[in-house]
Amino acid sequence: MSLLVTTPEEMRQQGISCLDFILVSGDAYVDHPAFAAALLGRFLQAHGYRVGLIAQPRWQSPDDFLALGAPRLAFGVSAGNLDSMLANTTADKKRRRSDAYSPGGTPGLRPDRATLVYCNRLRELFPAVPLIIGGIEASLRRLAHYDYWEDRVRRSILLDSRAHLLVYGMGEYPLLEVLRRLDAGQDIRAITSLRGTAYVTAEPPEEGEWVTLPPYEEVASSPEAFNRATRTAYLESNPYCGRGLLQRHGDRWVVINPPPLPLTTEQLDAVYDQPFTRQPHPRYRQAGGVPALETVRHSLTSHRGCFGGCHFCSLALHQGKFIQSRSPASLRREAQAVCALPGFAGTITDVGGPSANMYRLGGRQPERCRSCRRVSCLFPDVCAWLDTDHRPSVQLLRALRQLPGIRRVFVASGVRFDLVLADRSSAYLEELCAHHVGGQLKIAPEHVVDHVTAAMGKPGRACYERFIRAFAETNRRLGRRQYLVPYFMASHPGCRLQDMLELALWVRDHLGHFPEQVQDFTPTPMTVSTAMYHTGLHPFNGRPLAVARTPQERAAQRALLQYRDPRARATVERALHLLGRTDLIGEGRHCLLRPLPPRGPASKKPPPSGGG
């Protein structure tokens, strides 16, 4: 199967006079299943559609948008694998110096709010062609949402993009159904009842079960209304019992149909069983390729979805909390294809998903899960009905490392350590340490102060410390020296300056190393933590939370955890004075900062005394 068409010359080479569907993406074209445009395009191609891709068009001119002509059925627009604002700017709202999804890492090849920019170009040039938006930027902006970069509530992206339809979540099958209906002659404005889609209408639907959210105007002005909308959206996210959502914007209504049902194993296999080259498009060769590919080139995606429910993460909303797993046979086929790649040295660099150790996990009573509205199956405690037997993961990893040509199989995705501790088989941790950790295992405790981890929807300090002991004991028994690489987060809502100091002291006293993996909390659209940041209140219990909003407050929190960085010294010193903890500046072993040497010219040594 040929690569997706990207130029008129490639259309001629493949004998295509008119494409059925054209994707416009903010990412460079990499023919690898970790890149959404390639995954979606190849899937539609396998179902008989002629698919073109306009990758990172120069939006300042119409030329790139006109290059492939008008598609027979529709345009599809995505900002790429990341929200474009997150791709272009840091947590401090500074412009990024590189873009991993662009050739050579070159920044500036996608516009801010790429979905809107691309859509407005297409509506201007092709007003009669159906326009569909999707991807993580559109998915998480489908309702009125708080925008961190503008510090205000924006209306649904459907209204500003002027798109006919929004496909949210992992949208292969809903989009395939949309194209089939368009192919059968149905008007896109009549596609109003398909799961996993959203649209704008003058009158709300009369049939079906719907929940009406507070209108945009109220959500934009009232923290209480914003949190009520957030809470409702999460409580209605179970695809088996969740109802559709309605939200009025002025004189129009945004209609969000219920989420799509989880894919079966056979359906997910069909998405990934495509002949990906796992290479960037040849035109990027001179630029040195696309950096984002290097960490995933020889990796395998085993499953989708996450039932962890971390409050700062959007994956559960985007992929769903029901785990959708591929078959071992499909993964073996992909691993064998990876073995045949030029330059493959025998190492599968990762096997996993949003959390590596959720493969084939789910509820022991599916019917109970289908009526459950819990946001997380792990917080505040592991659900009693969750089957935590990790043997499917163990069996998969064993099967992959026994394939000819494969020497090592690593698990580089983060693992949920609380879920490892709950493993009913007790086999996963030993298997992981014995065969699948390359000296370091990534985990994400995020913090150790319990009220902060509770605000994050994460397990607390006691659970983390239990895992540290279990990991150390397992490696001691195996005779291996391996280390945990913890990720920590600064400035999450609910985290105060004194909480970051407590974390810094705990890390120093318990881990004995200086943490390099520190992430500043970034409020991304539609997450629970973003609602906390915007309103200063917990959306599920209404309790007020401390919020670090100013650049100075955020910098101080991060600096306390990286107190040994000379560049952070002045910020750390100010923070310690503010906290009344100047006792931590000094020569004592308990101190974080050593006193600076006295300033001024060095005193001159007296001349040596001479003999007479």
Q: What is the pLDDT of residues 182-231, one digit of tens each?
A: 999 999 999 999 999 999 999 999 888 999 999 999 999 999 999 999 99
Rounded to whole angstroms, what are the CA distances from 576 to 205, 435, 545, 595? 58, 44, 22, 13
Q: What is the pLDDT of residues 574-589, one digit of tens each?
A: 999 999 999 999 999 8
The predicted pLDDT at position 290 comes to 98
In this predicted structure, the answer to whether residue 123 has a pLDDT above a threshold of 80 is yes
Ramachandran category for residue 360: left, alpha or beta (phi over 0 → left; psi -120 to 50 → alpha): left
Residue by residue, what is the 3-state secondary structure of 403-466? Answer: CCCCCEECCCCCCCHHHHHCCCCCCHHHHHHHHHCCCEEEEEEECCCHHHHHHHCCCCHHHHHH
> pLDDT band for position 609 (50/70/90)?
very low
The predicted pLDDT at position 207 comes to 86
Question: What's the token pair of residue 212?
Answer: 């009406």
How is residue 504 annotated by DSSP?
H
**Mean confidence (pLDDT) of the chain:** 95
DSSP string spanning 129-163? S-EEE-HHHHHTTSSSEEETTTTEEEPPHHHHHT-
The predicted pLDDT at position 600 comes to 61
Q: What is the pLDDT of residues 399-409, one digit of tens each?
A: 999 999 999 99
In this predicted structure, the answer to whether residue 127 has a pLDDT above a threshold of 50 is yes
Q: Tell me if 303 sits within 8 A of 325, measured CB to CB.
A: yes
Mean pLDDT, rounded, for 455-471: 98
Mean pLDDT, rounded, for 334-354: 96
In this predicted structure, the answer to whether residue 611 has a pLDDT above a threshold of 60 is no
**pTM given for the model:** 0.94
Mean pLDDT, rounded, for 33-61: 97
The predicted pLDDT at position 239 comes to 97
Question: What's the token pair of residue 276?
Answer: 């990906």
Mean pLDDT, rounded, for 103-111: 97
The predicted pLDDT at position 602 comes to 53
The predicted pLDDT at position 317 comes to 85
* Interaxial angle between packed helices 36-46 and 172-183, expressed in degrees from 0 to 180 and rounded to the nearest 10: 40
In this predicted structure, the answer to whether residue 608 has a pLDDT above a threshold of 80 is no
Domains of the chain listed by start with CATH number: 8-191 (3.40.50.2300), 298-438 (3.30.750.210), 439-593 (3.30.750.200)
Token pair 């600096």 is found at 559
The predicted pLDDT at position 117 comes to 98
Query: CA–CA separation, 315 vs 309, rounded Å?
Result: 8
Q: What is the pLDDT of residues 529-549, one digit of tens each?
A: 999 999 999 999 999 999 999
Q: What is the pLDDT of residues 467-491, one digit of tens each?
A: 999 999 999 999 999 999 999 999 9
Query: CA–CA separation, 230 vs 233, rounded Å?
Result: 5
The predicted pLDDT at position 414 comes to 86
Query: CA–CA separation, 405 vs 332, rounded Å?
Result: 12
Q: What is the pLDDT of residues 253-287, one digit of tens each?
A: 999 999 999 999 999 999 999 999 999 999 999 99
